[in-house]
Amino acid sequence: MKKGLIALAVVAVIFFACFAWVKNSYNRMVTAEEGVSAAWSQVENVYQRRADLIPNLVATVKGYAEHESATLENVIAARSNATRVTIDPENLSAEEIGKFSQAQGELSNALGRLLMITENYPDLKANKNFSDLQAQLEGTENRIATERMKFNESARAYNTMIRRFPSNIIASVFGFEKKGYFEAQAGAESAPKVEF
């Protein structure tokens, strides 16, 4: 009788130890996944800030450079496309992040062309409203880079957690999937060619 109770006690201890390990592993994965989602929300937040600055920037430039309508329309179209591309935080795959990044890159290129044409308009460059908007846009671009880096760090920590043994067993049982990263745009590895 005593041996039976001892065996039952050992089985109960092993069961509760396994349960505690699974519970703690699962909860750590949930916490890490929520961290990735929060980091993604911050990425979207700073991209939205940039999108919100663009109408004011376009309106300011339009007042000085009306015959640059094609460039202004390209910026407006790129902004519209960039704000239309969204990702569900539950599906942060490399493919989806690539689509999002491409749309945002097109907007960055359009903004770059817009800011280049402003060099031809000294009165525009001297306009305080334009200067303030340009400074806010530069600050927002810095925030975007920072938040993208934080997102990649969160995704890396999460991905490492769900791929390490024995946590990978828990991850596969409960359906935790790898998250994608922001990657450099194609061609970013080579410096632009400068000719004088």
- The CB density around residue 46, as the number of other CB atoms within 10 Å, is 19
Is-contact 154 36, C-beta < 8 A? yes
pLDDT tens track of the chain, all 196 residues? 788 889 999 999 999 999 999 999 999 999 999 999 999 999 999 999 999 999 988 888 888 777 778 888 899 999 999 999 988 888 899 999 999 999 999 999 999 988 888 888 888 878 888 889 889 999 999 999 999 999 999 999 999 999 999 999 999 999 999 999 988 765 544 444 434 3
What is the C-alpha separation between 157 and 178, in angstroms, rounded? 11
pTM for the complete prediction?
0.82
What is the C-alpha separation between 16 and 13, in angstroms, rounded? 5
Residues near 172 by Cβ (< 8 Å), separated by ≥ 6?
none
Query: All domains of the chain, ordered by start, with CATH?
Result: 47-174 (1.20.1440.20)
Residues near 38 by Cβ (< 8 Å), separated by ≥ 6?
154
Is-contact 26 170, C-beta < 8 A? yes
